[in-house]
Amino acid sequence: MYTLKLIFKNAFRHKLRTCLTILSVAVAILSFGLLRTVVRAWYVGVEASSASRLVTRNSISLVFPLPLSYREKIRQVTGVKQVSHGNWFGGIYIDEKNFFPSFAMEPKTLLELYPEYVLPPDQKAAFLRDRKACVAGLKTARKYGWKIGDTITLKGTIFPGNWEFVLRGIYKGSNKNIDETQFFFHWDYMNETMKKIIPRRADQVGFYMIELKDPDTAAEVSLAIDGTFKNSLAETLTETEKAFQMSFVSMTEAIVVAIQLVSFVVIIIIFAVSANTMAMTARERLGEYAVFKTLGFSGWHIGAMIFGESIFITMLGCAAGIIFTFPAAKAFGSAMSTFIPVFNIETKTIYMDIAAALIVGIAAAVFPAYRAINIRIADGLRRIG
């Protein structure tokens, strides 16, 4: 108990230095936590993917469409339970800065394939009934102040014109890792409109979503689907939903690696700040440590005081950093929701913060403790006065 009291008093002997060190550690922990959350958010779509779903697209690129006639042929493949289809719409709401993921989808099969999109029964019925109906994620609806029954107009980028929709549903994710920024509407509504304005672009699908009867047959079913359309005018590439999502992440892999490197550089900064503080503290107290030795304190006692003080300071900074990480993450996630739809602090990230601070606290005290333990009493006493 006496040692703990001594550690606390020593830590705040130089209040300004200690407070600045705690603040530096807090900012570094805050930065580390946010950077690790950004890396994790990059892969959230991959983590949320289902093992029982496949995605079929044009083998050349997602940009090239597939015929609508492929739907029934895919449905007949052994192992396929359900098939849905859709197109990336890429609409803009009022202004170009108001961008969110928008899709033309086959509504009934979409909701069956993705039960994680939770929609109240009355809203689901209204969405299926109305050809001009749309469903928006909770985050997007809150951002623009949309309410059930509102008329929403999107300006098409891929499909030209101004498209009017009626908001019939607002979905929530079944868990915190589900993207709540998306916007869905009836594929038939888009297709019928394209028949009138650009007939050659009608009856074309951007991708097919396939539910499997058995997730273990994913490889066999994928090969069977692609084999069905081999040597056709539009050959297909079928892959698991996770692999499909991972293909988008791989396009920005260099950015993810850079963010990971920066997050570890932050740890080095914490170490430098803490090590500097402890080195200055130990140098100023060498005379005191010599006195402790004359009173019978062992090197272990002196080392425990130095290590305890270092860990105490870094953990205080860590606690402050963790506390401020949550409001900072909320603000950052709100500002970047267009690019990072899911931005949540994981428990694992908090554990990494604590582990990093603890390691730095121990490492920063190693050299000062070694010097204090090994100093000769006579050399230490000469520093007094």
User: Of the ranges 96-105, 173-182, 364-373, which one carries the lowest mean pLDDT score?
Assistant: 364-373
What pLDDT does 105 receive? 95
Would you state the torsion angle of the CA atoms of residues 264, 266, 270, 275, taken in this order, to the nearest 10 degrees? 70
**Domain residue limits at 108:** 60-234
User: Does 182 share its domain with 98?
Assistant: yes
User: Does 270 share its domain with 356?
Assistant: yes
User: Does 116 share its domain with 191?
Assistant: yes
User: Does 17 share its domain with 90?
Assistant: no
Is residue 126 in a domain? yes
pLDDT in tens, 340-363: 777 788 888 899 889 988 988 888
What pLDDT does 137 receive? 94
In the predicted model, is pLDDT for residue 16 greater than 90? no
What pLDDT does 201 receive? 86
Question: At 66, which helix (H) or strand (E)?
Answer: strand 66-67
The span from the CA of 8 to the CA of 79, in Å, is 66
pLDDT in tens, 180-233: 999 999 999 999 999 988 888 889 999 999 999 999 999 999 999 999 999 898
User: Does 77 share its domain with 6?
Assistant: no
pLDDT in tens, 293-322: 777 777 777 778 888 888 888 999 999 999
Averaged pLDDT score across all residues of the chain: 86
Residue matched to tokens 């980028």: 157
Domain termination site, one of 185, 206, 234: 234
Name the amino acid, one letter, at 372.
Answer: A
The span from the CA of 231 to the CA of 233, in Å, is 7
User: Does 202 share its domain with 98?
Assistant: yes
Q: Which one is predicted more confidently, 214 or 381?
A: 214
Is residue 72 in a domain? yes
Is residue 241 in a domain? no
User: Does 73 share its domain with 204?
Assistant: yes
User: Interior CA angle at 9 toward 6 and 13, to 5°?
Assistant: 135
Count of structural domains, the chain: 2
User: Does 215 share its domain with 70?
Assistant: yes
The span from the CA of 115 to the CA of 281, in Å, is 59
User: Does 168 share its domain with 296?
Assistant: no
What is the band of 165 on the pLDDT scale with cuts at 50, 70, 90? very high
In the predicted model, is pLDDT for residue 385 greater than 60? no
User: Does 8 share its domain with 79?
Assistant: no
Burial class (CB in 10 A: 0-12, 13-18, 19+), 200: exposed
Is residue 52 in a domain? no
What is the band of 2 on the pLDDT scale with cuts at 50, 70, 90? low
The span from the CA of 300 to the CA of 292, in Å, is 11
Is residue 178 in a domain? yes
Domain termination site, one of 177, 206, 234: 234
Is residue 86 in a domain? yes
User: Does 119 share its domain with 229?
Assistant: yes
Token code pair at residue 328: 């900072």
In the predicted model, is pLDDT for residue 1 greater than 60? no
Is residue 213 in a domain? yes
Is residue 49 in a domain? no
What pLDDT does 382 receive? 67
User: Does 66 share its domain with 203?
Assistant: yes
Domain termination site, one of 186, 201, 234: 234
pLDDT in tens, 238-295: 999 988 888 777 766 677 788 888 888 888 888 888 888 777 777 777 677 777 777 7
Residue range 319-330: mean pLDDT, rounded: 90
The count of other CB atoms within 10 Å of the CB of residue 120 is 13
